[in-house]
């Protein structure tokens, strides 16, 4: 099973888009997206220095544009899972088919501008806490009046809040930890970003999303989201909610992901996945940073997607749990069965009684992702439906 990751803020490097502009049509596409985002993506990706691309209003649309520019060069039709970190969720949502590339770029522009404006209201910041006992780290963050903005797994939690509180926290770090102040404009993914969340919600209310064509994981809780409108609501909410990348990686492990491609600028998420999943068997990883990496990425897709020769392209849709409880597949329903839209494929036993699980599309039941009496969480993948494109 193959997953594609879309990175977030902090992964950008000066000039990282330069080699991509040699591809036919790449520069014209970036100029079109620049008009939508309200920033010059060609300049930012090629000539701008580190200080200029650190600006939140510029960085966020730049990262989404980079991910989508590279994704367009890959045969992603048989990718099973996609997930992004922070603003990278917009890129992942476009790869999953929830948003068009134009919509994702436009939302990234709004998100970046509004979060930059929220950062200017009062002095706030972020600090990475490396090592230590996670519970002790979280308790110390709360005791200092800070927020756990990112829980990235692999022994890394990011604290965010007022500069004064961060200074005191850095002077009194939790036991066996190292605190590194991050060069960011403010306290992202905390209540300090509430004005940006409100502004983004007003714009997002006007778009028409589609349901995801593949498993799309959410930073909110690591679960798969099966409805486009719900994903848009989560994207808006994530402006003030913590990024639970640790839970996203847990879901990747639970799904049995064997191959990972990180879109550009790649490296950060791949490193976290490699460290976090090494105990259970780290997946094969390709970091896609330049067009020279495309052959390796395409080879990984061919080997982990199951495509052979000229077989029909298979498009997978995921059915997720509507509630927390215990799952029971419909009696006699086996992999390979032909499903129709609205067909009941199982039930989730909850404290309030059984909740039906229905197929939201027609096709073949290609794989059960949960089995009889498995405990499931809301949004957890239960089954995949597939069919020829």
User: Which residues does the annotation mark as catalytic?
Assistant: 86, 189
Give the position of tokens 């790449």. 26
* Cα distance between residue 76 and residue 196, in whole Å: 32
Neighbouring C-beta atoms of residue 183, cutoff 10 Å = 11
> Is 92 within 8 Å of 153 (Cβ atoms)?
no
């Amino acid at each position: 099973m193959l997953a594609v990751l879309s990175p977030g803020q902090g992964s950008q490097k000066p000039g990282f888009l330069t080699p991509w502009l040699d591809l036919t049509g790449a520069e014209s596409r970036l100029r079109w997206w620049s008009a939508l985002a309200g920033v010059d993506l060609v300049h930012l990706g090629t000539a701008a220095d580190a200080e200029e691309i650190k600006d939140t209003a510029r960085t966020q649309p730049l990262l989404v544009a980079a991910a989508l520019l590279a994704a367009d060069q890959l045969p992603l039709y048989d990718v099973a899972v996609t997930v992004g970190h922070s603003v990278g969720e917009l890129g992942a949502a476009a790869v999953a088919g929830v948003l068009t590339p134009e919509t994702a770029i436009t939302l990234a522009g709004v998100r970046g501008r509004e979060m930059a404006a929220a950062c200017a209201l009062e002095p706030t910041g972020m600090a990475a806490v490396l090592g230590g006992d996670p519970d002790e780290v979280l308790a110390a963050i709360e005791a200092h009046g800070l927020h756990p903005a990112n829980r990235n797994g692999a022994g890394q939690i990011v604290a965010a809040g007022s500069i004064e509180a961060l200074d005191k926290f850095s002077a009194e770090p939790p036991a066996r930890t190292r605190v590194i102040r991050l060069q960011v404009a403010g306290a992202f993914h905390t209540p300090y970003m509430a004005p940006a969340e409100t502004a983004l919600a007003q714009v997002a209310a006007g778009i028409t999303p589609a349901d995801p064509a593949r498993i799309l994981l959410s930073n909110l809780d690591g679960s798969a989201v099966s409805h486009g409108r719900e994903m848009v609501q989560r994207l808006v909410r994530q402006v003030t909610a913590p990024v639970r990348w640790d839970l996203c990686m847990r879901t990747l492990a639970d799904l049995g992901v064997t191959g990972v491609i990180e879109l550009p600028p790649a490296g950060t998420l791949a490193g976290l996945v490699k460290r976090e999943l090494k105990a259970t068997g780290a997946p094969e990883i390709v970091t896609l940073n330049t067009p020279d990496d495309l052959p390796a990425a395409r080879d990984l897709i061919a080997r982990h997607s199951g495509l052979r020769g000229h077989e029909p392209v298979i498009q997978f849709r995921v059915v997720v749990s509507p509630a927390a409880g215990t799952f029971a597949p419909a009696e006699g329903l086996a992999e390979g069965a032909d499903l129709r839209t609205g067909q009941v494929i199982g039930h989730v036993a909850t404290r309030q009684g059984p909740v039906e699980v229905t197929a939201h599309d027609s096709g073949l039941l290609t794989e059960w992702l949960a089995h009889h009496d498995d405990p499931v969480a809301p949004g957890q993948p239960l089954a995949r439906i597939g069919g020829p494109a």
